[in-house]
Structure 1
Amino acid sequence: GLAADELIAVLLDQRQHWIYRAWSAMLLASRNEKAATEALFHATQRDPVQWVRRDALRSLRLLIGDLEYEICPV
């Protein structure tokens, strides 16, 4: 598999085809690393393609949702 930093590089490189950026966003959902979370947040705000922003947001929600339960178990 690809390392998180490789996925982040693809996600943030707008010269890459948007499908590769969207796939990178989806794959980053399983990487519980600060850099992955920051890259996903950046993509939700700055990527010009709606599908990439959508997939980045979904992955970010998965990461933050998991974090929320780890910090504040109810």
Structure 2
Amino acid sequence: MKNVIKNFYAPANLLLDPNYGGEYAWAYNIIKGISNYFKIIAITGKLRGDINNAVVIETGITKRDFVNISLFFFKYI
């Protein structure tokens, strides 16, 4: 049997940044820590940094970034 862990982080327009501080670093550190044990698929606005064992889908960090959001739906759904 395969071990699976699912986590949902919202909103998807969030910036994941280990150096920015606050909520941005907090979410980054959680995803990076979990990726040490499980393969992660993370949907986020923008990633600054590197997370091993993770597929990161970036949708854009502005409300007007409809192109990336549209590409996300057509590519991954």
TM-score (structure 1 length as normaliser): 0.34
Structure with the larger RCO, 1 or 2 (CA within 8 Å, 6+ apart):
1
Q: Radius of gyration: which is bigger?
A: 2
Between Structure 1 and Structure 2, which shows a larger proportion of helix residues? 1
Structure with the largest fraction of strand: 2
